[in-house]
Structure 1
Amino acid sequence: MRSLLQVPLLDENRIDEALSSKADAICLDWASVGEQPDQSKALGLVKYALARRSAQETTARVFLRIHPMPSLKVDRDLDALIPFRPDGLFLPECETERSIKALSVRLEAQEAIVGLAKASIKIIASVADTPASVFGLQGYDAESDRLVAMTWNAQKLADDLNLRQSETHRSTMLSSPIQLARSLCVLAASSAGVPALDTILDNPADETGFERETSTALRDGFSGKMATHPKQVPIINKIFADRHNGQKSEF
């Protein structure tokens, strides 16, 4: 997986752009949706995106961002979303391997209900989003049949550490704690045998800066990168093309 495009779920035009973007995967942000009537609209758009995926109108895998574990909201997320049979879930603020295992147990039960084979629904885990999660990076299971990629969230971690934005959002000058988390994400993913996807650090509107940032991610051992706009996807796919040539799909 080279490119993972984040998409706000309540914007059908953005979803259409994402599905046509040549991203390897898109992530629809279910967790940020409020209460009714937004949830009803969001579920309709989830159904729409996955119908286009089933009709092979896009090659992008469709992931849905749920709430962090542990939370009662996760069970409600799964009840609402799994009947639509997404390719996978995006788990934010994943603090340890136990979070993956707990989510997998819930998913196995849901898969049985909707008639899917075990481990059909995959997981992308954001594993260095909080100070606690950085200390939980050891021990992610290399034999997991669900985990297909790992990433991290510089903004969330910086907020938790009360770091100034100017010190955390320049890929050429990361503060020490943010750089440590970034490096450990690469090492943890390598140990687990899955791709590490870099987060976005610089201003995404700066295409030159984004290209430089993406090249830095390749140099530092990442296998791909997150994107927030379709125009970033070709940059990511081009820079990471050589690393993925000849490789089989991760799932």
Structure 2
Amino acid sequence: MRFTRYCRSLLSTPATAVERYSKSHQAGADIAMVDLEDSVPPARKEEARRLAEEFFALPSAKLVRSAVRINSLAGPEGLRDLLALTRYRVKPDLVLIPMAESARDVEIAAGALAADCPDTEFLAVLETPAGIERAHELAAAGRRLRGLVFGSADYAFAVGAGLSWEALAYARSRLVCAARSAGLEAMDSPLFEVADLEGLRREAAQARELGFSGKIAIHPSQLPLINQAFTPGPELLARARRVVAAGRESGCSVTVVDGVMVGMPFFEASRRLVDEYGPTPEQ
């Protein structure tokens, strides 16, 4: 199992909902994102770009990354978003590129922001059949791409599928495989039933088991469950420490821990887990 603090959770706030900006930064998500795309009607796009600048000037909780979801680069609004970002006083840590269908989408964003936002990283949102089928190409789109994000609603609509886990299993698996083969993070789409916390718990666990790094939240109330699902518990950490110790003692040869045969893949995964979350309970 691979755990990371980079993007266990992401909380989106419409760019026009200025009154929610501050809470978004303090809500407990690893990524606090302001949205210029779906949540903003066409008539308010320019206003949203102007308002969103203040989102990045606000203080965030420790280790929280600030992000912006731009409009599709297949149309003029996405290009206008990129131009606006170059003028912001404080730059975003991450830019989400929606409707990504080829490496060219990432290259356009990276090129446009190279001079003025050199440290900004990217997440590509795969939410069309073409994007899913080109997932491996997209995953190799450059060093500033940090992860792939699954957009279930648009993908399901495009292929005529339902939103159940089973219906979208192929798309999710293909995205995770492409992301992990390139050393990237993989983020799952949100559960849209805000009040269904048991459903969220179940779907987050399924996403974690499949290899996702985290999951998008559409409401702050979903964040505790999502963060819990993508954070190793004390028993898992304790076992990881035992595996690391066994690997050290065996010289990384195949051995048995808690009745289970373990070898190099287990040693490496456990070492990463211990490095990320602490070598001992006291530290």
TM class by shorter chain equals: 0.7 to 0.9
Q: Which residue of 2 aligns with 1:231?
A: 221
Matches within 5 A, 1:52-91: 52-53=58-59, 56=60, 59-84=63-88, 85-91=91-97
CA displacement at 1:203 relative to structure 2: 1.8
Write the distance in 2 (CA, Å) between the matches of 1:237 and 1:245. Answer: 18
Secondary structure at the counterpart of residue 52 of structure 2: helix
Deviation digits for residues 94-140 of structure 1, max 9, x if unmatched? 1122221222111214x1xxxx5x3x11111112x111112211234
Write the distance in 2 (CA, Å) between the matches of 1:74 and 1:240. Answer: 31
CA displacement at 1:28 relative to structure 2: 1.2
When residues 245 and 83 of structure 1 are mapped into structure 2, their CA distance, relative to the original with a 3 A threshold, is farther
When residues 79 and 245 of structure 1 are mapped into structure 2, their CA distance, relative to the original with a 3 A threshold, is farther
Larger Rg: 2
One-letter code aligned to 2:145 = L
Matched, 1:170 2:177: no
Deviation digits for residues 197-222 of structure 1, max 9, x if unmatched? 11124523211111111111111111
Secondary structure at the counterpart of residue 247 of structure 1: helix
Q: Which residue of 2 aligns with 1:133?
A: 131
When residues 50 and 58 of structure 1 are mapped into structure 2, their CA distance, relative to the original with a 3 A threshold, is farther
One-letter code aligned to 1:170 = S
Q: 2:159 aligns with which of 161, 167, 181?
A: 161
Secondary structure at the counterpart of residue 156 of structure 2: helix
When residues 35 and 179 of structure 1 are mapped into structure 2, their CA distance, relative to the original with a 3 A threshold, is closer
CA displacement at 1:36 relative to structure 2: 5.8
Matched, 1:104 2:107: no
Q: Which residue of 2 aligns with 1:207?
A: 197
CA displacement at 1:72 relative to structure 2: 2.7
Question: Which sits farther off after the overlay, 208-217 or 42-51?
Answer: 42-51
Write the distance in 1 (CA, Å) between the matches of 2:190 and 2:50. Answer: 29
Q: Return the TM-score normalized by structure 2.
A: 0.73
Identity value in percent: 30
Deviation digits for residues 138-186 of structure 1, max 9, x if unmatched? 23455833111211111101111233xxxx2233xx22xx221111111
8 Å CA contact 1:6, 1:27 repeated in 2: yes
Q: Which residue of 2 aligns with 1:247?
A: 276
8 Å CA contact 1:22, 1:233 repeated in 2: yes
Q: Return the TM-score normalized by structure 1.
A: 0.82
Q: Which residue of 1 aligns with 2:265?
A: none
8 Å CA contact 2:11, 2:33 repeated in 1: yes
Q: Which residue of 2 aligns with 1:47?
A: 53
Q: Which residue of 2 aligns with 1:10?
A: 16
When residues 91 and 78 of structure 1 are mapped into structure 2, their CA distance, relative to the original with a 3 A threshold, is same
When residues 219 and 44 of structure 1 are mapped into structure 2, their CA distance, relative to the original with a 3 A threshold, is same
8 Å CA contact 1:20, 1:58 repeated in 2: no
CA displacement at 1:58 relative to structure 2: 5.8
In structure 1, stretches of 5+ residues that fail to align are: none
Write the distance in 2 (CA, Å) between the matches of 1:245 and 1:98. Answer: 37
8 Å CA contact 2:22, 2:58 repeated in 1: no
Q: Which residue of 1 aligns with 2:257?
A: none
In structure 2, stretches of 5+ residues that fail to align are: 1-6, 233-271, 278-283
8 Å CA contact 1:150, 1:185 repeated in 2: yes
CA displacement at 1:38 relative to structure 2: 6.1
